[in-house]
Amino acid sequence: MRYPHEYESSLQNRERFWLQQAQQLHWFKAPTSACQLQANGTANWFADGELNLAYLALDYHVDNGRGEQTALIYDSPVSGQKQTYTYRQLKEEVARFAGLLKKQHVKKGDRVVIYMPMIPQAAIAMLACARLGAIHSVVFGGFAPHELAVRIDDAKPKLIITASCGIEVSKVIPYKPLVDEALKQARHETDNVIVWQRPEVIAELQAPRDLDWAAALGDVTPAECTTMTATDPLYILYTSGTTGTPKGVVRDTGGYAVALNYSMGLVYGIQPGEVMFTASDVGWVVGHSYIVYGPLIRGATTILFEGKPVRTPDASAFWRICADYQVSVLFSAPTAFRAIKKEDPTAKLMAGHDLSQLKRIYMAGERLDPPTLEWTQAVTGKPVYDHWWQTETGWAIAANPVGLTEYPIKPGSATLPVPGYDVQILNPEGEPVEPNQQGAVAIKLPLPPGCLTTIWGNQERFEKGYLTEYPGYYSSGDGGYKDDDGYVFIMGRTDDVINVAGHRLSTGEMEEILAMDEAVAECAVIGIQDELRGQVPLGLVITKDGTTVSDEDLAARLVQRVRNDIGAVACLREVLVVPRLPKTRSGKILRRVLRQLADGEQVVVPSTIDDPSCIDELASRLSER
């Protein structure tokens, strides 16, 4: 069994292990040491190494005979566009655009904000920044002007790259007015805005600040790769903070490159030349790691999909992509598969799509409930792997290490800690607990390569937010347990544990039970205030299309299910059938918003919400209780 040996080696022989992984990449100057420990327990990785991530992702493959292989496939059902780029073509596009950035005086260390839809130019802009050594910060296209302005003021970019519009299903959203308003609100002054004009909307440009991407490329000289030290920042990616102020997660260059290349083989089993379809967005960490950088460093083909799992045009969208492009690995969030399951419960729309090349399906981004895993396995006949990671880590913390040893799948578990991550379950005093006991999931320091190095401009916030709760550990903010086999079970955020009359209960466990019902497409359980017990759980469910059971009968059935499986101590006595649940654009259910609505508090609607109109809908439904 290779995994136990490799995992133990990654912890006990850290220096040798990670230098061996670093040797799999082309360095301009190879590192002589792997890990430099810092006073706070974190590490600088490969500090004396020099490289360039855009070179690894593009030039290296062109220089080594892979130039005519397809690097990127763009498939956009919302615009009707399809396009492919070979490694050579993508390198040329990136080098030219990097030349344009250089002409605008962008240099190593400058920040560049990228506010783009899911089009090839988003990936080109990211790789061009990496080529020059500029630090990119991708902001999800369509974010409100205020949220964009906050990020502009924090990152202080030299320039902004955007497109004239994005397309959400059939709705066209002009981006340029949003950027203009954000720049009015921001205190920081940005030199230029480069705009990719899409035919659906032609943006008005304000000379001399604004530049037309295509027109400005006319007389530029392609840029060569800038040499970067391994510890130089590659990007800033903002994630929501508990204070409401976004946190700028900083990713380094060398450690990230090593971690991505390692994970492409270990976690996903992807070999050079294979096709990976990650259905996410470049605005999220999944898009950074496994749409853009990871597959290209690996020499694979990546798919950039501008569409949804449903309604573009229907629930067969993923199956069509897999069949059309002979996809080996499909990766998306559980919510995407729940949406497919809701609209096509028997997978009739899968018929006619040849999935013979599809080897594995992966899900992450939120807790994967066993019914969704089991349904996906049943209808596709493919193994489905849960894996757990965070924006902060950049790659999987726990996964099934298929590249070494494939382990049996246990529904509800992300399988085993990935080599490099010393995952521990801690009690409130910071002491490890016994198997099958729930606690806080923490990672003993140092974190492996590829994880965040700091919060942009705020080292104090980094240490306070992640390193102080359990000294010597990175605090993940998630709760869970390990079973007797060492499998990791993530039960949800620690603030999703509710206290019912002194009993600490996991809402994730209750959600698992509700989701097993044949009528339930999606669900959430939240803790609401109760004068007698402190908190009690409230279940919210969405039913599958075509369900005939009445809301009252379903609610009674679900309450009894929880009572049978957990006991009366769960105190789940109320289940409401609702039409929708508030979610982020990446599919995570906004449980804090649900709690605020249920408790009658003022609702703070986050900028990441997918559809704000569902808030009034839910408020009305909850007021009927």
Alpha-carbon distance of 498 to 507, in angstroms, equals 7
Please give the structure tokens belonging to residue 122: 């988003």
Token pair 């240490």 is at which residue?
A: 463
Summary mean pLDDT of the chain: 92
E strands present in 197-340? 210-212, 228-229, 233-239, 247-252, 275-278, 301-305, 329-332
Q: Evaluate whether 117 touches 94 at the Cβ level (below 8 Å).
A: no
Alpha-carbon distance of 71 to 57, in angstroms, equals 9
Alpha-carbon distance of 354 to 242, in angstroms, equals 45
pLDDT of residue 181 exceeding 80? yes
Using a 10 angstrom Cβ sphere, with 0-12 exposed, 13-18 middle and 19 or more buried, the burial of residue 87 is: buried
Per-residue pLDDT at 222: 98
Per-residue pLDDT at 503: 54
Amino acid (1-letter code) at residue 362: Y
Whole-Å CA distances, 113 to 130, 219, 252, 603: 13, 23, 17, 29
Alpha-carbon distance of 240 to 585, in angstroms, equals 13
DSSP state of 198: B
For 441-475, b where at least 16 C-beta lie within 10 A, e where not — what string? bbbbbbbbbbbbbbbbebeebbeebbbebbeebbb
Alpha-carbon distance of 226 to 39, in angstroms, equals 30
Q: Quick: pLDDT tens for 92-142.
A: 999 999 999 999 999 999 999 999 999 999 999 999 999 999 999 999 887
Residue ranges of domains in the chain = 87-226, 501-623
Please give the structure tokens belonging to residue 362: 């992966």
Q: Which residues pair with 536 in a beta bridge?
A: 528
Q: Quick: pLDDT tens for 302-360.
A: 999 999 999 999 999 999 999 999 999 999 998 899 889 989 999 999 999 999 999 99
Q: Evaluate whether 274 touches 288 at the Cβ level (below 8 Å).
A: no
Q: Quick: pLDDT tens for 77-102.
A: 999 999 999 999 999 999 999 999 99
Q: Quick: pLDDT tens for 354-390.
A: 999 999 999 998 778 888 999 999 999 999 999 999 9
pLDDT of residue 496 exceeding 80? no
Torsion over CA: 385, 391, 395, 399 (sign): negative
Peptide linkage before 313 cis (omega within 30 of 0): yes
Q: How many CA atoms lie within 13 A of 252 on its CB side?
A: 25
Q: Evaluate whether 107 touches 117 at the Cβ level (below 8 Å).
A: no
| φ, ψ of residue 499 in degrees (nearest 5) | -110, 105
CATH of domain 87-226: 3.40.50.980
Using alpha carbons only, how large is the chain's radius of gyration in Å? 24
Q: Which of 1-15, 330-344, 356-370, 602-616 has the lowest mean pLDDT?
A: 602-616
Architecture of the structural domain at 501-623: 2-Layer Sandwich (3.30)
The 3-state secondary structure of 2-54 reads: HHHHHHHHHHHCHHHHHHHHHCCCCCCECCCCCEEECCCCCEEECCCCEECHH
Strand ranges across the sheet with 81-86 = 81-86, 70-76, 301-305, 275-278, 329-332, 360-363, 384-386
